[in-house]
Chains A and B, each alone.
Chain A
Amino acid sequence: MHRFANPARFLRIANAVLPYTAGLFAVTLLAGLYYGLFQSPPDYQQGETVRIMYVHVPSAYLGLMIYSVVALSSASVLIWKHPLAEIVARAAAPVGMAFTFLCLVTGSLWGKPMWGAWWVWDARLTSMLILFFLYLGYIALSNAFDDPGRGNKPAAILALVGVINLPIIKFSVDWWNTLHQPASIIRMDGPTIASEMLIPLFLMLAAFTFFFLTVLILRVRSEIAATKLRTAMASGLSVRDNSKDTSEEGATA
């Protein structure tokens, strides 16, 4: 793992991978939309609203998966003071928050016609809302100081404490009486969804994953450049006035 820790090596690998993640995203997205909107049948109970599942479930999955990425990176920030892990966590968190938001809104748009309510304070929905606020807290803390080095540690601790919410979300539908339906894909006795619906669902899950990888690489590149800029600023080198500053380093800031 430490072999990939060096930002320069990471960038070399990431840039080689980027065209593939972007290409696979485009292909799986188009296929997923084709199967989801044209090829899959309406549900016998939910009618056409079952198609909301093809964006709702992948959004929920990314919201949880990205939180695990943020938490694992935060752990290596705290344990090894890993600079790249810090960058990955900062780059991933806003993406995870965006997908948690999408999960909540698309769920709400499905809930209104199917349950008759936009929102219920059910265990699954409430724990997902808490995940959204955990992201919000993480992002606010890590940006709370001008020097991001100071905010990263409390943010990492918050991210780790919030991990307790992940199994709560996953098992909320079994532990409590919820309105939300229980797991139907990852089950001991196999999926309970018709294969015509599993195909678009898996395609969209793949598409969302490739989207996250693509955006993560772009954002990590951006953060690496931003870190270089901050270091240079801190050492007194000015970016804007560099044309005048030919004699000595460290004039204006």
Chain B
Amino acid sequence: MSDFLDMGRHAAFIWPCYALTALVMAGLLVSSIRSMRQNEKLAEQLKRPRSRGEQ
């Protein structure tokens, strides 16, 4: 297992690649879900103009 984490001499180059990829993909997913929820919630409120703003 420690061999695995070591990745030979180049661990300092390999792990940052995987970490950054994970970070960017997670960021894309989270920001897309958030903006979708927010916009759909606001658009939903438009359909019912007489209801109050709270969910």
Chain A residues contacting B33 (CB-CB under 8 Å) are 218
Cβ B13 vs Cβ A110 within 8 A: yes
Check if A49 is an interface residue, CB within 8 A of chain B: yes
A227-253: contact bitstring with B at CB < 8 Å (1 yes, 0 no)?
011001000010110110110010000
Indicate if the CB atoms of B17 and A55 lie closer than 8 Å. yes
Categorize the interface residue count of chain A.
Answer: 35 or more
Alpha-carbon distance between A248 and B52 when the two chains are bound, in angstroms: 16
Majority-rule SS of B interface residues: helix
Of A97-105, A147-155, A180-188, the one contacting chain B is: A97-105
Is there a chain B Cβ closer than 8 Å to A221's Cβ? yes
Mark A76-112 against chain B: 1 for CB-CB distance below 8 A, else 0: 0000000000000000001100110110011001101
Q: How far is the CB of A240 from chain B (nearest CB, A)?
A: 7
Q: Does A38 contact B (CB under 8 A)?
A: yes
> Which residues of chain B in 22-55 are interfacial with respect to chain A, using CB atoms and an 8 Å cutoff?
24-25, 27-29, 32-33, 35-36, 38-40, 42-43, 45-46, 49-53
**CA distance in complex: A242, B49 (Å):** 6
Supposing A218-B33, A219-B32 touch, asked if A106 and B17 sit within 8 A by C-beta, the answer is yes
The 7 A-B residue pairs with the shortest CB-CB distance, nearest first, are: A225-B39, A222-B36, A225-B43, A218-B32, A48-B8, A106-B17, A48-B7
Interface residues, chain B, CB within 8 Å of chain A? 4, 7-11, 13-14, 16-18, 20-21, 24-25, 27-29, 32-33, 35-36, 38-40, 42-43, 45-46, 49-53
- 29 residue pairs of the A-B complex, CB under 8 angstroms, read A37-B4, A47-B10, A48-B10, A49-B10, A49-B14, A51-B7, A52-B17, A55-B18, A59-B21, A94-B28, A98-B27, A98-B28, A101-B24, A106-B20, A109-B13, A110-B13, A112-B13, A113-B10, A113-B13, A215-B32, A218-B32, A223-B39, A229-B43, A232-B46, A237-B49, A242-B51, A243-B53, A245-B49, A246-B50
